[in-house]
Chains A and B, each alone.
Chain A
Amino acid sequence: MSAVVQLLLRRLGISLIVLVGVSMLVFGIARIIPGDPARIALGPNATVEQIAKLRSSMHLDESIVVQYGHFIKDLSRGDLGMSLYTNRPVTLDIAEFLPATLELVIVAGLLMIGIGLPLGRWSARYRGRLADHVIRLVSLLGVSAPSFVWAVILMLLFAFFLPLFPIAGRISDTYTIERVTGFLLVDTLWAGNFQAFSNALWHIVLPAFALALSGIGQAARLTRANMIETYDKPYIEMAQAYGFSGRRIANRFAFKPSLIPSLTIIGLDFAAMLGNAFLVEAVFAWPGLSRYGVAVILRKDLNAIIGTVLIISATFLLVNLIVDLLIAFLNPRIRHSQRQTS
Chain B
Amino acid sequence: MKYWKAALAAAVFASTTVTAVAETVLRLDEVAVGELDPAKASDYADSILMFNVYDTLILPAQGGPGHTGHLAESWSSEGNSFTFKLRDDVTFQSGNPLTADDVVFSLDRMKALGSGLSYLFGVVESAEKVDDLTVTFNLESPYAPFVASLVRLPIVDKKLVMENLGEGDGDMKDWGTAFMSANSAGTGAYSVKSHNPQEETVMVKNADYFLSVADAAPDTVRLRYGLEAATVRALISKGEHDIASQWLPPEVVSALAKDGAQLFTEAGTGAFYFKMNTTKAPLDDANCRLALAHAFDYSTAIKMIAISDDISAGSAATGAIPVGMYGSNPADQILAQDMDKAKEYLAACKYDPSEMDIEVSWIAEVPLEERFALLMQSNFTALGIKSHINKMPWALFAEQVAKAENTPHISQLFVNAVTGDPDTLLYGMYHSSTPGTWQSPEHLNDSVVDEMLDAGRSAASPEDRAAAYSKLNARLMEIAATIYGFDRQSVFAASNRVKAPALTDASKAFGLDGLGFSFRLMEMTE
CA distance A295 to B234 in the complex (A): 23
**A198 and B14 contact, CB distance less than 8 A:** yes
CA distance A97 to B7 in the complex (A): 30
Listed residue (A35, A160, A173, A194) with the most chain B CB atoms within 10 angstroms of its CB:
A173
**B16 and A299 contact, CB distance less than 8 A:** no
- The contact of A298 among B10, B197, B227, B364, by CB within 8 Å, is B364
- The contact of B399 among A40, A194, A201, by CB within 8 Å, is A40
- Tell me the total A-B contact number using a CB cutoff of 8 A: 102
| A121 within 8 A of partner (CB) | no
**B181 and A87 contact, CB distance less than 8 A:** yes
Chain A interface: which of B330-338, B373-381, B432-440, B458-466? B432-440
Task: Indicate whether A44 sits within 8 Å of B11 (C-beta atoms), given known contacts A167-B230, A287-B198, A287-B199.
Answer: no
Look across to chain A and name the residue whose beta carbon is closest to the beta carbon of B238: A163
CA distance A35 to B437 in the complex (A): 16
Q: Return 26 A-B CB contacts under 8 Å, by A number.
A: A35-B399, A39-B399, A39-B402, A44-B437, A44-B438, A45-B119, A86-B197, A87-B181, A87-B197, A93-B198, A167-B235, A168-B228, A172-B18, A173-B25, A174-B18, A194-B7, A195-B16, A198-B11, A202-B16, A282-B228, A285-B228, A285-B231, A287-B198, A298-B364, A299-B393, A300-B399
Listed residue (A96, A198, A287) with the most chain B CB atoms within 10 angstroms of its CB:
A198
| A283 within 8 A of partner (CB) | yes
With a cutoff of 8 Å between Cβ atoms, the chain B residues found around residue A27 in the complex are: none
- The contact of B401 among A44, A173, A291, A295, by CB within 8 Å, is A44
Interface residues of A in 189-235 (CB under 8 A from B): 194-195, 197-199, 201-202
| B155 within 8 A of partner (CB) | no
With a cutoff of 8 Å between Cβ atoms, the chain A residues found around residue B235 in the complex are: 167-168
CA distance A123 to B1 in the complex (A): 35
| B115 within 8 A of partner (CB) | yes
CA distance A85 to B181 in the complex (A): 13
**A45 and B435 contact, CB distance less than 8 A:** yes
CA distance A148 to B115 in the complex (A): 38
CB of A305, distance to nearest CB on chain B (Å): 13
Listed residue (A45, A87, A163, A292) with the most chain B CB atoms within 10 angstroms of its CB:
A45
| B12 within 8 A of partner (CB) | yes
Task: Indicate whether A173 sits within 8 Å of B16 (C-beta atoms), given known contacts A168-B231, A298-B364.
Answer: no
Provide the B377-395 mask, 1 if CB < 8 A to any CB of A, else 0: 0000000000000000101
Query: Residues on B close to A: CB < 8 A?
Result: 7-8, 10-14, 16, 18-19, 25, 27, 33, 114-115, 119, 181, 196-200, 222, 226-228, 230-231, 234-235, 238, 240, 364, 393, 395-396, 398-402, 435-438
Task: Indicate whether A159 sits within 8 Å of B33 (C-beta atoms), given known contacts A197-B11, A198-B12, A300-B396.
Answer: no
**B437 and A159 contact, CB distance less than 8 A:** no
CA distance A201 to B396 in the complex (A): 37
With a cutoff of 8 Å between Cβ atoms, the chain B residues found around residue A167 in the complex are: 230-231, 234-235, 238
- The contact of B234 among A87, A160, A291, by CB within 8 Å, is A160
| A78 within 8 A of partner (CB) | no
**B398 and A44 contact, CB distance less than 8 A:** yes
- A-B contacts besides A97-B198, A285-B227, 5 pairs, CB < 8 Å: A45-B114, A85-B33, A96-B196, A194-B7, A287-B199
With a cutoff of 8 Å between Cβ atoms, the chain B residues found around residue A160 in the complex are: 234
CA distance A195 to B10 in the complex (A): 8
With a cutoff of 8 Å between Cβ atoms, the chain A residues found around residue B401 in the complex are: 44
**B230 and A198 contact, CB distance less than 8 A:** no
Look across to chain B and name the residue whose beta carbon is closest to the beta carbon of A50: B114
| A243 within 8 A of partner (CB) | no
Interface residues of A in 289-311 (CB under 8 A from B): 291-292, 295, 298-301
CA distance A247 to B200 in the complex (A): 51
Task: Indicate whether A199 sits within 8 Å of B199 (C-beta atoms), given known contacts A168-B228, A285-B228, A299-B395.
Answer: no
| A43 within 8 A of partner (CB) | yes
**A172 and B238 contact, CB distance less than 8 A:** no
**A298 and B11 contact, CB distance less than 8 A:** no
Task: Indicate whether A45 sits within 8 Å of B437 (C-beta atoms), given known contacts A168-B227, A174-B18, A285-B231.
Answer: yes
